[in-house]
Chains A and B, each alone.
Chain A
């Protein structure tokens, strides 16, 4: 089946969604996705960030679709033509969704552990505005303790349902879920007090925002100050293939290995994630590559840094001749040495 997205065509298998096809093409055409997670069955369709315009339904039925479609749950048809970034309507819709996601978001990035690897930050960097039209009081929730390993910040949550699906599909018993409805829906444990399943830590990895963070890494460091390495250990419960985030010889936190769409390759167990912070536990494979534009790139040295020279006018720091004269004190004339220095710098005035 042939699909065309923003003028780029690709052959895909039947059953592929538009978002998957766009990811095969890669680059600018890939719609942002806050709730879709390719490893979780039934995810997607909720955040509405990935809306695209279907300009031509298929070869058989070339009518355009009247509404914008969520690309993560809309299957490709043969001959389908999709406008993603090239459509003003789509751009407008993404801006709207970004605004909606941000109006009740606390915007506490300076104290949020997710800052630097947050999908919502990336989304608002691309589609957000610097001012807000929302003057009302933000919606807030009472803090809730969901156990010793995972910190829940409900105020930051965008209700992507990913953590609920992880618990459903990865663990034996789901003890948390979405309570209430509307803008007061919240992630909460209902009867059980703590989320303590052996694979529950993956909720942290799938959370696109800082709603679920690692308590063992809480306030330890900004993510861009530590350096990610691929590492593995012989783990009886999971594959043991992880990323360890190191500061010097200290392992600050352990996460799954994430790809360019911030989805983990393999889910890891809580033992690897929370309990093995000693460097002796791990076999370090080597530093991870990371996105060039990412803030994680700061202070990293796994590529040769080039000395940057900024081409400017020579002697620009000396300032203009008349300015220098003005601020010079007449009573104290320039010494012989000063005059020579000035001349040697190219100032003959």
Chain B
């Protein structure tokens, strides 16, 4: 049984309420930070812990905090990014729904570290019931004196608000989130200036994921050095993984980083193996925007080392043979699933969610979706595969925000690892027309039809 940091109290009945949370050691980090530590010492602890941003990019949180412009004298803000919309990721919802006070506690401690007196939780519109849970939790915390003026007699003031978005994936991008929070259209801003210099209402702002902020109380209670002991190498601490797909036990799991993918997949403590006797075909380790990996690259990296659940090991081999930990949306496919359909589905999502501000993403995501839709429905042309690769390479890196890259990577990876499946769709449209093509006839059985004939 590995160490639990975020979910250790999740099964205590009534942990949603302030009283139970408080009785179980809740808000200890606020007391410790406000009474015994200076804001800079809190930042130092987080830096020592090596905690990395859990939203997907994996940027060290302490480093991000130290970039915030404290000299300008402008008010500073902490914004919690709860706009979790990545397909395959649902960890933040779980955390906020079942233990909301952990996030509130993290927000207070982190805001204190940054010197922010006005902080926000930006939650996606689809999480309306979670929004209400958080509102209630904030009111409870306020009644108990953990929010508002002069918290615990320390002279530190903090107002915390929950803001409900209107349901746009793009508002999970930090600058688009800030725009949306300001009441504008959720278009990403052009960087620089970065939010640490000019963010919400042109004030220095830090935007952190829910899970990152929820890890802060433990770090303050147990010191950063303790946190750094968990995990492996530069991937310290624990990570929530939202597992879904063809596995026995889907759900949210807290793992110590450095656990092997094999163990995570097959041990009964975690996913418990595949849901049926159909073999594993592919998996996406970090939500829809990271490259998909084929079966032979899942448990072992290209060099033959064990693949571990860590930032480094999952991206081992770059995009050619690796992927990314991303936000921890662990999606598993068995051999009945169709990679082409899955890629089209992801592509459709990015087409729908592109903000339409910059041309490569606005036009390119729609184009890719249309081409993939044609291939999937048996109207593909042989040249469409190269066309897709060409479109994705033209989007990648040329856009304002990372949504363009996120739309381009899964397509490139699917073609890189599963090109034959695309060829099969194009060459045998009659075999895929009933949409059950790999159920009766897994791709392995028909692979010979598209493999190159060697004379």
Chain A residues near B (Cβ < 8 Å): 44-49, 51, 67-68, 70, 73, 93, 96-97, 99-101, 103-104, 133-134, 136, 139, 158-159, 161, 177-178, 180-185
Contacts and interface: CB of A to CB of B under 8 A. Distances in A.
Contacts of A99: 394
Given A178-B185, A181-B354, A48 B359 contact: yes
Given A104-B363, A136-B370, A182-B365, A96 B398 contact: yes
Given A93-B394, A100-B364, 16 more contacts: A47-B358, A48-B399, A49-B359, A70-B190, A70-B400, A93-B398, A97-B360, A100-B367, A101-B359, A136-B370, A158-B359, A159-B362, A181-B354, A182-B365, A183-B351, A183-B366
Given A48-B360, A100-B363, A100-B364, A181 B351 contact: no
Given A70-B190, A139-B366, A159-B362, A181 B398 contact: no
Contacts of A182: 351-356, 362, 365-366
List of 9 A-B pairs having minimum Cβ-Cβ separation, nearest first: A185-B356, A96-B394, A100-B363, A45-B190, A182-B354, A183-B366, A136-B370, A182-B356, A100-B359
B237 to A, nearest CB: 28
Contact of B168 (A49, A133, A181): A181
A47 B359 contact: yes
Q: By DSSP majority rule, is chain B's interface helix, strand, loop, or mixed?
A: helix
B190 A97 contact: no
Contacts of A180: 356
Interface of B: 168, 170, 185, 190, 351-360, 362-367, 370-371, 374, 387, 390, 394, 397-400
B398 A159 contact: no
9 contacts: A46-B357, A46-B400, A48-B398, A97-B360, A100-B359, A100-B362, A101-B363, A161-B357, A182-B356
B367 A134 contact: yes
Contacts of A73: 190
A302 B419 CA distance: 61
Contacts of B387: 133
Contacts of A49: 359
A335 to B, nearest CB: 64
A225 to B, nearest CB: 32
Nearest to B169: A181
Contacts of B352: 182
B355 A46 contact: no
A101 B361 CA distance: 11
A178 B359 CA distance: 15
B351 A48 contact: no
B360 A96 contact: yes
A134 B400 CA distance: 24
A258 to B, nearest CB: 23
A100 B356 contact: no
B359 A67 contact: no
Contacts of A46: 357-359, 400
A181 B170 contact: yes
Contacts of A177: 185
B59 to A, nearest CB: 16
Contact of B356 (A68, A70, A103, A178): A178
A104 B369 CA distance: 14
A68 B367 CA distance: 22
A97 B356 CA distance: 14
Q: Which of A99, A100, A134, A177 has the most CB of B within 10 A?
A: A100
Nearest to A93: B398
Contacts of A184: 356
A136 B190 CA distance: 31
Nearest to A182: B354
Nearest to B351: A182
A144 to B, nearest CB: 17
Nearest to B189: A45
A132 to B, nearest CB: 11
A227 B70 CA distance: 58
A103 B190 contact: no
B388 to A, nearest CB: 11
A28 B248 CA distance: 62
A104 to B, nearest CB: 6
A212 to B, nearest CB: 18
A183 B397 contact: no
Contact of A183 (B365, B390, B398): B365
B190 A100 contact: no
Contacts of A161: 357
A179 B357 CA distance: 11
Nearest to A45: B190
B84 to A, nearest CB: 19
A183 B168 CA distance: 15
A183 B358 contact: no
A107 to B, nearest CB: 14
Nearest to B356: A185
Contacts of A51: 398
A100 B360 contact: yes
Contacts of A70: 190, 400
A245 to B, nearest CB: 30
